[in-house]
Amino acid sequence: RRLPLDMVVWAVVGMALFRHIPMGQIVNHLDIMLPGKRPFAAPSAVVQARQRLGVELVKRVFEQTQALWHQQTPHPHWCGLTLLGVDGVVWRTPDSPENQAAFARTRNAQGEASYPQIRMVCQMELTSHLLTGSAFNSVASSEMELTTELIGSTPDHSLKLFDRGFYSLGLLHAWQSAGEQRHWLIPLKKGTHYQEQRSLGRQDRLVTLTTSPQARKKWPDLPPTMTARLLRRKVNGKEVQVLTSMSDPLRFPAADIVDLYSHRWEIELGYREIKQSLLGNRLTLRSRTPEMVFQELWGTLLAHNLIRFQMARMAYSLDAVHPNQLSFHQAAHWLIKELTILPWVSPGRVPGVLQSMLDMAPAFVLPSSCLSDASGLVLDRSGADHRNTPPRKMPVSVN
């Protein structure tokens, strides 16, 4: 009774923010209990409160906040498209009987993994590292299966950068058909057969891809053929070939498209932020039952977005700085400290604390030696309130 559900959501988020603190102490650390005779919460009470909360409510909080925070963040665009990335990651769970029964384990030449595992796929806006959606299940589920669950959370007027492991004409067709101007970019898979339609320029072709009967059976809306754009370019002496749905050469210049793919690395950095900086390399989750494992993962993603949204506000309070040009490790450490002291801040001082977060932004800008302007692409801040903002170049951060 002293832990209402909204406070329990904070406790679940706190499991990621304070990875080194036992679950029973997080509630006391955040001071989120209602007043009572005892000044602390018993560990059993926290467990019962988490069970009462369940999974769906935390998932719903993640989905609603990500939509709100993306709406409030002036993401830069490339040719009118928001840059998104998708990739997978594997989590370990405690080796409890319940987790053993629910989750499989990966195998390799050395044998079976020591822990039951979860496979997760996330979709991320690449300039802010804000997550737009996630799907996860036992590691027995494939990345391709989980990725199909993200189609519904993909915004219109976006460009998705896929790893070559996600090559599936059924998936790509479903992705671009689910909304307006939902484009994709993916490296050409070795052995892909195509027929050239016409040339759009030097090393720039429109091609026809033939779909297989098996793919059309799995994806009933998949046509017998698809048109795509194939671009080639030499990068560091090696030929790079990419396929894309962006077939209009006037709107989408060939000179930028191959370079654009280098920004897919941002989602790898995002996973590193979560696992190394946020969770402190404690790669095994805490929860001992499948339902609580799923709840913990949604809380972890919510915690990451909470920090990244504040970092986006900090970055855009500066001139010519993108959110991925701030050090996540340093900013997260400072923001979590500020969150810890909020319970003891009087209501009248809260606006000042929030302003101090913005004032600290210059301290977290990465030095130029930690940034690589891999492509020199110019991304436009084209939100309704930012139409007169000069375009910025977006470097790829490495911290």
Sign of CA pseudo-dihedral 174, 87, 15, 66: negative
Tally of domains in the chain: 2
Q: In the listed set 18, 38, 53, which residue is the last one of a domain according to the structure?
A: 53
Q: How far apart are CA 50 and CA 24, in angstroms?
A: 11
Position 393 scores a pLDDT of 40
Position 38 scores a pLDDT of 55
Answer yes or no: is 88 within a domain. Answer: yes
Do 124 and 17 fall into the same domain? no
Do 9 and 127 fall into the same domain? no
Do 75 and 25 fall into the same domain? no
Do 259 and 124 fall into the same domain? yes
Answer yes or no: is 209 within a domain. Answer: no
Q: How far apart are CA 360 and CA 378, in angstroms?
A: 27
Do 305 and 325 fall into the same domain? yes
Q: How far apart are CA 187 and CA 210, in angstroms?
A: 17
Do 130 and 23 fall into the same domain? no
Answer yes or no: is 38 within a domain. Answer: yes
- Tokens of residue 184, six digits: 């994709």
Answer yes or no: is 364 within a domain. Answer: yes
- Asked if residues 70 and 130 have their Cβ atoms less than 8 Å apart, the reply is yes
Do 156 and 304 fall into the same domain? yes
Do 382 and 317 fall into the same domain? yes
Q: In the listed set 53, 72, 89, which residue is the last one of a domain according to the structure?
A: 53
Answer yes or no: is 213 within a domain. Answer: no
- Asked if residues 299 and 15 have their Cβ atoms less than 8 Å apart, the reply is yes
Do 3 and 150 fall into the same domain? no
CA distances for 338 relative to 7, 207, 296, angstroms: 18, 54, 22
Do 98 and 153 fall into the same domain? yes
Answer yes or no: is 161 within a domain. Answer: yes
Answer yes or no: is 1 within a domain. Answer: yes
Answer yes or no: is 290 within a domain. Answer: yes
Position 113 scores a pLDDT of 84
* Region at 45 (left for phi over 0; alpha for psi -120 to 50; beta for the rest): alpha
Do 150 and 298 fall into the same domain? yes
- What is the span of the domain harbouring residue 284? 55-170+251-399
Global pTM value:
0.89
Q: How far apart are CA 124 and CA 328, in angstroms?
A: 15
Per residue of the chain (399 residues), give pLDDT as tens: 678 888 899 999 999 999 988 887 888 877 776 444 455 567 788 889 999 999 999 999 999 999 999 999 999 999 999 999 999 999 999 999 999 999 999 888 788 888 999 999 999 999 999 999 999 999 999 999 999 999 988 999 999 999 999 999 999 999 999 999 999 999 999 889 999 999 999 899 999 999 999 999 999 999 999 999 999 988 788 888 999 999 999 999 998 898 888 888 899 999 999 998 888 888 899 999 999 999 999 999 999 999 999 999 999 999 889 999 999 999 999 999 888 787 677 778 888 888 888 999 999 999 874 554 433 445 665 443 332 333 334 433 333
Q: How far apart are CA 394 and CA 313, in angstroms?
A: 17
Do 142 and 21 fall into the same domain? no
